[in-house]
Amino acid sequence: MIEFANVSKTYGHTADAPKALDDVSLRIGSGELVVLIGGSGSGKSTLLKMINRMEQPDTGTVALDGQDMVHMPLRELRLRMGYVIQSVGLFPHWTVARNIGVVPTMLGWKPERIAARVTELLSLFDLDPTTYGPRYPHQLSGGQQQRVGVARALAGDPEVLLMDEPFGALDPLIRTALQDEVKRIHQASGKTIVMVTHDIDEALRLGTQIVLLEQGRIVQVGSPLALLSQPANKQVADFIGRSDVGIKLLSLQSAGSLARVEAPQSTPFLPASASLREAVSTLALHGCQSLNLLDDTGAHAGVLHATDLFNRRHTGSLPLSDDQGQHA
């Protein structure tokens, strides 16, 4: 558990310097995937950096598991936390493998264990270990470098993973794949993940909690659903985008959640784990009224009717399925 209590911070000492953080209080529970979102300069990076004490609050406290972080030894604290910085920052004179192994090395792991971990992480991020392990960072594309940056942060199996716009330079396809990967890692490991983004779709897709910042202040904290259905004020609504709130809401819910138990019909198929947003797209594409849903094994899992989609009466408490994953 990470707890911010009345944290304020101003860079520089001139009287007119704006507050990077202004009386921020926030509680991040263990195992959450918290997404910090807001416009440029709203204080997202500053907030994130206070968690591993890259920045110190001017006033207020940041506590880890109930203990004020000021009293913790800095190195141990940072070794317990993975950190992906905004501009990647790989060590240019080291191979990819050595970059990823840096924290395990400091933790005193045996060389074989480090090598195994490096291989595991490279494979996880879709980089062939024998090809990419011996390469130098400048021999990788921007997207590959970012993936190595995330792998490096995960290498020491940290309790907390901090990521500052980790997927900034990626094309949409790889971005979506990596978002899925982060989500999978989060669900499988139960790590606390705090991630900065300025992309509302990324926030809605990944976050268990979303923290919306504006000029150093927290405007709203809540689940993706709460943010979409009950925006705290006009700014939040503007930030989320008014025109397609309905579509975004659909992306939070799986097609399977509205399935009727019926025999298969002569209509197109869709995985039951796909979102309602994809269901709408498929319905529109084929110009039909219903879809056959398939479970993970490809077996029939009911029928989704278009009428159910639009007759849904939502009062802000939609039935949310656990699986919001999207499949191409």
Partner 1 sequence: MLKPRYAWLGDKLLWAVLLLAALVFGLPHSEALFASLFPQLERPVYRQEPFTQLLWQHVLLVGASGAAAVLVGTLAGIWVTRPAGRAFRPVLETLVSMGQTLPPVAVLALAVPAVGFGELPALIALALYGLLPVVQGTITGLQAVAAPVLQAANGMGLSPWQRLRQVEGPLAMPVWLSGVRTSVIINIGTAAIASTVGAKTLGSPIIVGLSGFNTAYVLQGAVVVGMLAVVVDMGFERLARRVDWAH
Ligand X SMILES: Nc1ncnc2c1ncn2[C@@H]1O[C@H](COP(=O)(O)OP(=O)(O)O)[C@@H](O)[C@H]1O
Q: Which amino acid, residue 142?
A: G
Closest CB to ligand X among 37 and 121?
37
Closest separation in Å from C-beta 39 to ligand X: 7
3-state secondary structure of 14: coil
Decide: is 9 part of the binding site for partner 1 (CB under 8 A): no
Residue 102, φ and ψ in degrees, nearest 5: -65, -45
> For partner 1, which stretch binds (CB under 8 A), given 82-90, 178-186, 233-241, 262-270?
82-90
Closest CB to Mg ion among 47 and 227?
47
Decide: is 42 part of the binding site for Mg ion (CB under 5 A): no
> Do 240 and 200 meet the contact criterion of CB atoms below 8 Å apart?
yes
- Residue 18 contact among ligand X, partner 1, Mg ion, none, beta carbon within 5 to 8 Å by kind: ligand X
Closest separation in Å from C-beta 307 to partner 1: 52
Closest residue by Cα to residue 210 from 4, 3, 49, 33: 33
> For Mg ion, which stretch binds (CB under 5 A), given 41-49, 99-107, 132-140, 145-153?
41-49
Angle CA 219–164–209, to nearest 5: 40
The residue from 21, 37, 45, 273 that contacts Mg ion (CB under 5 A) is 45
- Residue 172 contact among partner 1, Mg ion, ligand X, none, beta carbon within 5 to 8 Å by kind: none
Closest CB to ligand X among 181 and 199?
199
CA distance 258 to 242: 25
> How would DSSP label each residue in 195-240?
EEES-HHHHHHH-SEEEEEETTEEEEEE-HHHHHHS-SSHHHHHHH
Q: Among residue numbers 120 through 139, which ones bind partner 1 (CB under 8 A)?
A: 136, 138
- Residue 41 contact among Mg ion, ligand X, partner 1, none, beta carbon within 5 to 8 Å by kind: ligand X
Closest CB to partner 1 among 84 and 318?
84
CA distance 46 to 270: 42
Decide: is 83 part of the binding site for partner 1 (CB under 8 A): yes
> For partner 1, which stretch binds (CB under 8 A), given 100-108, 109-117, 252-260, 267-275?
100-108
Q: Among residue numbers 276 through 295, which ones bind partner 1 (CB under 8 A)?
A: none
Task: Tell me, rounded to whole angstroms, the distance of Cα 210 from its chain centroid.
Answer: 10
Q: Which residues of 225-246 are buried (b: 16+ CB within 10 A; e: fewer)?
A: bbbbbebeeeebeebbeeeeee
CA distance 194 to 191: 10
CA distance 270 to 284: 13
- Residue 220 contact among partner 1, Mg ion, ligand X, none, beta carbon within 5 to 8 Å by kind: none
> How would DSSP label each residue in 32-83?
-EEEEEESTTSSHHHHHHHHTTSS--SEEEEEETTEEGGGS-HHHHHHTEEE
Closest separation in Å from C-beta 86 to Mg ion: 5
Binding site for partner 1 (CB under 8 A): 52, 54, 74-79, 83, 85-93, 102-103, 106, 136, 138, 152-153
Binding site for Mg ion (CB under 5 A): 45
